[in-house]
Each structure stands twice: as structure tokens, then as C-alpha cells.
């Protein structure tokens, strides 16, 4: 079984990235051949500074390795180190119905959030489909909000297969509890572009400040509070053991504890949870050649697979 996932180098990684993509990806290393890429091509839809893009790409690789990705069991590489993916994206675009892309909810959501409309943003699902199909991927772990991208990928694969013969296998989404939407400090999905993130490897003062700024309602200290609607409780449930989660739930329902105290408790648990990863990150940084060597080895493996698939595609459509 071949597993594929990617993450954009749009900035420092936050806990939404970790629980939404990275932790499930690390767990999947044991289930099959895992390929994980730093999606620098995708980042071009919003990131215009070349130095920032380069720095962010390296930082994503560093943070992914610090969070448990094992290069002996998984392949980590940069998107742009496999340029064949852009060729496949063009080929897919020649068969992609406009209506399919116009129905993509991610495009509408990004426009609603103030991002500038551009062709890259609109055709983003085609590049994502190429990412998946070029590696003969079997499984793609995603959150519920990204399931539509896999559906679009499957639609495009079916259209290619119907037109040119059996070229692509149909990938399956893997939606796990870990990939549920992680709320940001404003209660909406955590995202760097929304400015509601809590970074994994931010310094202690900054993480504390972000946690203490979580938006809450005006329920008085003495009154019972609803844990199900609380961002504090949802985030705490990601990092605390079951008995401590149950204890916090009881205190919410009982009343007598203010949101400020719950936020302090959440910060302490978050800081403790990511401590081993901060240590591993420092160890990786001490070896200056390690990240480059991992990415080079990953690019070699990714290109081997992509080359085989593209030869098959080119022959089927008449380019060979």
C-alpha cells in the first residue's frame, strides 16, 4: 500500500498541522510505503517572496522530522524536486470540466477569506490530483474538509481512464479521528492564513500569549460551562490523557472555574506535550547536512516512481 500526503510551507507549523496531518502521517509509516512532500508548488498561490519560500520549505522538513517522521521508513521530499507533476497537471487540465473546479469549496472559501483570485488557486485541485496520481497512491489521509479534493482526483482519473484506457488507479481517502478539524484561537479551523494559529515550535512566551487569547463566551466564573462548544476543551482533549480530560470536563460542567484558569492549564499541557519534539528538533539542527541529505534521498525515490507513471501516461495519450 502506498500512502501520500503533503503539507504547504506557508509558515511556521501549528498544532492544527500536527494533529490534522503530521501525527496521522507518522502513524501511517508503519502501514505501507509512505511518501510525504513539502508542497512548495502549492505555496506559490499565496507566497511571493523567494527567500521566505526556501526558508519555510526547509523549516517544514525540519519540523516534520522533529515530530516523528522517520526517513528510514518514509520518503520526504520537496514538491518542486519532481517537476513531472506539473506536466501531469497540464494533461489532466485538458480533460477537467470547468464545472468540476467551480464546485470546489476550498476555492470559494479562500476567496471569502480575502485571497486574490488567480488561475493557480482555481486550478489547485488539478495540481493536487497530479500529486496523488503520479505516485500510484492507494491511500491519502485527509480531514473531512479536504475529502472533496480526493473526489475530484478520482473523477479526473476516471475521465482519463475512460478516454485513454486504464492508466490510473483510484486513490482512497483515509479520514481518521486525528484528522478532524482543529480549532484555532477564534474557534474556526486553525490556519496560518486566518491568523488564529498556535505554533508547535514557537517560544514559550508566544505560545502562552496565543493560548491566553483564545476567544470564549461571557459565562460567569461560577456558572457551568459547555465543554462541547469550548475551543479550550477541544484543544486540551488532543494533548491530555483520558483521566485528565474527564476531570476538566467535570470542572466545566460544575462551574466555579474561570476560562483564564482553563487556559493556563491548556498551555501547560501543550508545552509539556511538545517538549520531546523540541528536543529532537535541536538535535537535527546540530547536524547541518542532515535535512539536505534526507530531502535528496527522498527526491530520488519520488522521481523513480513518477518517471514510471509518466512514461505510462505519455504512451497512453500519444506523446510517445
Please report the sign of the dihedral spanned by the C-alpha atoms of residue 181, residue 157, residue 27, residue 289: negative
Give the pLDDT band (50/70/90) at residue 177: low
String of b and e for 23-32 (b: at least 16 CB within 10 Å)? Answer: bbbbebbeee
For cell 534526507, the residue is: 294
Please report the sign of the dihedral spanned by the C-alpha atoms of residue 43, residue 58, residue 20, residue 248: negative
pLDDT of the residue at 143 = 75
Catalytic positions are: 110, 189, 192
pTM of the model: 0.89
* pLDDT exceeds 80 at position 200: yes
For cell 493536487, the residue is: 128
pLDDT of the residue at 179 = 47
Close Cβ partners of 58 (under 8 Å, ≥ 6 residues apart): 291
pLDDT digits (tens, 9 = 90+) for 96-139: 999 988 888 877 777 777 777 788 888 999 999 999 999 999 99
pLDDT digits (tens, 9 = 90+) for 250-282: 999 999 999 999 999 999 999 999 999 999 999
- The domain limits of the chain are 2-181+288-317, 202-273
First-to-final CA distance of the chain: 29
pLDDT digits (tens, 9 = 90+) for 238-247: 999 999 999 9
Query: Measured between alpha carbons, how far is 97 from 104 in angstroms, rounded to an integer?
Result: 12
Dihedral angle of Cα 129, 61, 45, 181, to the nearest 10 degrees:
70
Give the pLDDT band (50/70/90) at residue 180: low
- Summary mean pLDDT of the chain: 93
Query: Measured between alpha carbons, how far is 173 from 71 in angstroms, rounded to an integer?
Result: 23
Query: Measured between alpha carbons, how far is 150 from 153 in angstroms, rounded to an integer?
Result: 5
Percentage of residues in the chain having pLDDT higher than 90: 81
Nearest to 304 by CA among 89, 81, 140, 39: 81
Level-2 CATH architecture, domain 2-181+288-317: 3-Layer(aba) Sandwich (3.40)
pLDDT digits (tens, 9 = 90+) for 39-73: 999 999 888 899 999 999 999 999 999 999 999 99
Please state, as a whole number, how many other Cβ atoms lie within 10 Å of the Cβ of residue 193: 14
Query: Measured between alpha carbons, how far is 220 from 260 in angstroms, rounded to an integer?
Result: 11
The CATH class given to the 202-273 domain equals mainly alpha
Amino acid at each position: 500500500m502506498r500512502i501520500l500526503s503533503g503539507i504547504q510551507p506557508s509558515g511556521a507549523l501549528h498544532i492544527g498541522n500536527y494533529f490534522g496531518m503530521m501525527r496521522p502521517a507518522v502513524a501511517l509509516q508503519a502501514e505501507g510505503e509512505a511518501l510525504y512532500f513539502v508542497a512548495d508548488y502549492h505555496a506559490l498561490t499565496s507566497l511571493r517572496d523567494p527567500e521566505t519560500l526556501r526558508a519555510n520549505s526547509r523549516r517544514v522538513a525540519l519540523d516534520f522530522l522533529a515530530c516523528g517522521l522517520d526517513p528510514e521508513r518514509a520518503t520526504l521530499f520537496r514538491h518542486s524536486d519532481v517537476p513531472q507533476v506539473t506536466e501531469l497537471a497540464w494533461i489532466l487540465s485538458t480533460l477537467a470540466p470547468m464545472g468540476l473546479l467551480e464546485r470546489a469549496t476550498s476555492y470559494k472559501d479562500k476567496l471569502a477569506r480575502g485571497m486574490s483570485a488567480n488561475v493557480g488557486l482555481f486550478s489547485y485541485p488539478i495540481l493536487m490530483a497530479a500529486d496523488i496520481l503520479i505516485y500510484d497512491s492507494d491511500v491519502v489521509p485527509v480531514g473531512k474538509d479536504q475529502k472533496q479534493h480526493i473526489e475530484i482526483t478520482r473523477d479526473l482519473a476516471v475521465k482519463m481512464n475512460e478516454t485513454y484506457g486504464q492508466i490510473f488507479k483510484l486513490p482512497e481517502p483515509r479520514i481518521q479521528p486525528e484528522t478532524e478539524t482543529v480549532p484555532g484561537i477564534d474557534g474556526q479551523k486553525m490556519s496560518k492564513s486566518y491568523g488564529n494559529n498556535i505554533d508547535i515550535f514557537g517560544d514559550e512566551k508566544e505560545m502562552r500569549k496565543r493560548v491566553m487569547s483564545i476567544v470564549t463566551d461571557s459565562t460567569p466564573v461560577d456558572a457551568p460551562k459547555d465543554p462541547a462548544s469550548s475551543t479550550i476543551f477541544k484543544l486540551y482533549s488532543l494533548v491530555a490523557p483520558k483521566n485528565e480530560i474527564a476531570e476538566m470536563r467535570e470542572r466545566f460542567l460544575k462551574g466555579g472555574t474561570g476560562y483564564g484558569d482553563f487556559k493556563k492549564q491548556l498551555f501547560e499541557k501543550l508545552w509539556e506535550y511538545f517538549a520531546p519534539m523540541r528536543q529532537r528538533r535541536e538535535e537535527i539542527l546540530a547536524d547541518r547536512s542532515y535535512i539536505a541529505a534526507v530531502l535528496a534521498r527522498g527526491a530520488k525515490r519520488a522521481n523513480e516512481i513518477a518517471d514510471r507513471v509518466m512514461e505510462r501516461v505519455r504512451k497512453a495519450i500519444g506523446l510517445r
